[in-house]
Structure 1
Amino acid sequence: MPSFEIVTHVTAPPERVFDISLDVDVHTASMAGSSEKAVGGVTTGSLKLGDIVTWQARHFGIRWRMTSTISAYDRPGYFVDEQVSGPFERWYHAHCFRPDGHGGTVMSDVVEFAAPLGPLGRVAEMLALRHYMPKLILIRNRHIKQAAEADLATD
């Protein structure tokens, strides 16, 4: 099963970065390139433990829906979102936040995923998803970093 980790340094405290990372509206703005939006469950505001959201997006020219839940939550250290239903055989995304010792945050995203359809899914993972999925997380993290640091500048 493919997995990857993305580490992002943010010049804002972990509490701020944690909260921004759970904001549906921030997530939607970060994924504007794929027209991702929340269409079911919690569709605006902040997510918390046990919340469910259905996302709709366009990737590879195809409209997808994925319903996920916040399955673990310990503010401001980490939360986990996992697919309940959708395009993946498995989707697990751990978001971790730790102080950097200088007032900022080291944000770490660990993602495990598996495509459906057995051998055909493994081919899709090798040809496209292993490269595409980290790029999406990087785009999202750039947006979270900008939002957290901009919010800090206006305090």
Structure 2
Amino acid sequence: MKSIQLQTNINAPIHRVFDLSRSIDLHKLSTKETNEQAIAGRVSGLIELDEFVTWRAKHLGFYQTLTVKIIKFQQPYLFIDEMINGAFKSMKHEHHFEEIENGTKMIDIFTFEAPLGFLGKIAENLFLEKYMKNFLIKRNQTIKQVAESNDWKKILEKVNK
């Protein structure tokens, strides 16, 4: 099992960063390269406790589906999503948020295990951990960019209509 921990400081209020992080629409924007689409469950707007979303995307040359469910939700400080169906043997993503001077500290703890036993462990070490870390860094940079500009309004104001 592998664990990736990232910290991103964002010059924006904690509520904005929290909501952008659980926005299905922003997630789609941040994953253009993998053509990620929400195909079942919550397919737009802000995901909530006990809701799920099924994503279809092209990763490592193959189209895959992944269904995650929000299993813990403490607005605006924490939400956790966990894989309920997908290519991993297991996957859990903790999203932590802390108020700091001039903004928000966003902490991701992404834990996963590849399938296929020993072969999966080799894949984790050879390329999968790096691939997932880069995927999360890109996502976090998109959240930061949108939260620190006026673009957040395009994402969150349509949710509140």
Return the TM-score normalized by structure 2.
0.92
3-state DSSP class of the match of 2:149? helix
- Match in the other structure for 1:74: 74
Aligned to 1:16: 16
* Structure-2 residue corresponding to 1:58: 58
**Distance between the aligned counterparts of 2:151 and 2:122, measured in 1?**
43
Which amino acid in structure 2 is aligned with residue 40 of structure 1?
A
- 3-state SS in 2 of match to 1:151: coil
Task: Indicate conservation of the 8 Å contact 2:20/2:152, yes or no.
Answer: no
SS of equivalent residue, structure 1 residue 16:
helix
CA positional deviation for 1:152 = 8.0
- Check the 8 A contact 1:12/1:152 in 2, yes or no: no
Q: CA deviation at 1:123?
A: 1.0
Structure 2, unpaired ranges of 5+: 154-161
Residue number in structure 2 paired with 1:34:
34
C-alpha offsets along residues 78-129 of structure 1, whole Å, 9 cap, x if unaligned? 10010000000110000000011x2300000001000011111111101111
Equivalence for 1:45: 45
Match of 2:156 in 1: none
Amino acid aligned to 1:144? I
Residues in 2 aligned to 1:152 and 1:98: alpha-carbon distance in whole angstroms:
22
Aligned alpha-carbon RMSD (Å) = 1.3
1:153: how far off?
Answer: 8.8
8 Å Cα contact 1:50/1:70 also seen in 2: yes
Partner of 1:112 in structure 2?
111
The residue number in structure 1 matching 2:2 is 2
Does the CA-based 8 Å contact 1:7-1:106 persist in structure 2? yes
